[in-house]
Amino acid sequence: MTLPLSKRGVGIGLAAGIPLVISGLVELARRPLVRMPVTGPELLGRRQVLESDGGPVHVRHVPGSEPWSIVLVHGWSGCADVTWHAVIPHLAGGPNIYAVDLPGHGEAPLGRGFTLDEAARHVAVVVDRAAALGPVALVGFSMGGAASLTGFSMGILDSVDRYVAVATADRFAAPSLTMKLWAARIFGAGDRSPFILQETWRRARVSKREMVAWIFRNRPSRKVLNQSAVALMRFDLSEADIRLPETSEWIVAGADTVIPVAEQIESANRHGLPITELDASHAITLEHPADLARLLRAQRKAAERRDHSVATLD
């Protein structure tokens, strides 16, 4: 027996199939990147595993010649090496550098799953290690900013002397950003998608396809992307009473189409922090690495205002 289909039923069926079709197209576009040879950049420093009560914390450490440290926290779908590989050479020779892999990203295991609380604990482990060497500047890019602010709200980042927010906001629950995160989950896209990565490649002038393949293959699994997207969709500290170091600031990506520029500016204003704006997309760490490093290094004295007993750098 043939059942009649209403126009509404057909429409619902077609709408339900759209995510599957788009997801399939994304997978087809990914295949050339998966199969082609990979040539990554020359990475400075060495990988370290810091042991903590919550499990291993993976970092890239680049020793410096100056008696202060900078802790770099990557964003959504990134990792220590992918997000910061272009910035670190411009910082090298100055501060002691620690670039952290958040749970499930880079070389870090997922462990108990991804939550911003767990990500903040990873950041705190690295900050405490860096604080043994002198003043600490903490830099949170995109989701790394959410993890850092979460750590401040938990009271576990008291060793930080200066906080720098980069292309981030104190809430990801804003309607426009929530829609983007939902789309990324449904279509399995996010920064793993060549369609979305194209803007990053163009603005950051990443032209070698082997390099693009290296960036693509260092993305976390879809499970991690889903868990972190859910965490960000619930993230809202816009009304929380968070005390940030007095010398903190907000670096805004003025051409950002991922986190609305207005949200970045309003977040800085809510915390009473000065703003520096760069004409950059959300891929600011790849697009303007020298400018970003210059801003970070210029604030060394601000991070040194508090009294520290400085240990010898290894």
Residue 206 CB coordination number (10 Å): 18
Categorize the per-residue pLDDT at 33 as very low, low, confident or very high, splitting at 50, 70 and 90.
low
DSSP structure string for 190-203: GGGSHHHHHHHHHH
Residue 254: give its domain's CATH number. 3.40.50.1820
Beta bridge partners of residue 99, listed in sequence order? 60, 72
312 located within any domain: no
DSSP, collapsed to helix, strand or coil, labels residue 36 as coil
313 located within any domain: no
Q: Specify the pLDDT at position 10.
A: 45
- CA 75 to the chain's CA centroid: 1
**Tokens standing for residue 15:** 């709408």
Rounded distance between C-alpha atoms, residue 210 and residue 68, angstroms: 35
- For the chain, how many structural domains are there in total? 1
Rounded distance between C-alpha atoms, residue 200 and residue 286, angstroms: 8
Q: Specify the pLDDT at position 293.
A: 96
58 located within any domain: yes
Closest CA to 123 of 214, 38, 54: 54
Are 299 and 247 spatial neighbours (Cβ–Cβ below 8 Å)? yes
pLDDT tens profile 138-197: 999 999 999 999 999 999 999 999 999 999 999 998 777 777 776 666 554 444 444 445
Q: Specify the pLDDT at position 309.
A: 38
Show the domain range for 117.
Answer: 12-303
311 located within any domain: no
309 located within any domain: no
pTM to 2 decimals?
A: 0.83
| Look-up of token digits 């057909």 | 10
Q: Specify the pLDDT at position 190.
A: 45
127 located within any domain: yes
User: If residue 30 lies in a helix (H) or strand (E), which one and from where to where?
Assistant: helix 7-35
2 located within any domain: no
Residue 2 CB coordination number (10 Å): 4
Are 250 and 268 spatial neighbours (Cβ–Cβ below 8 Å)? yes
125 located within any domain: yes
Closest CA to 268 of 252, 255, 282: 252
**Tokens standing for residue 93:** 């020779």
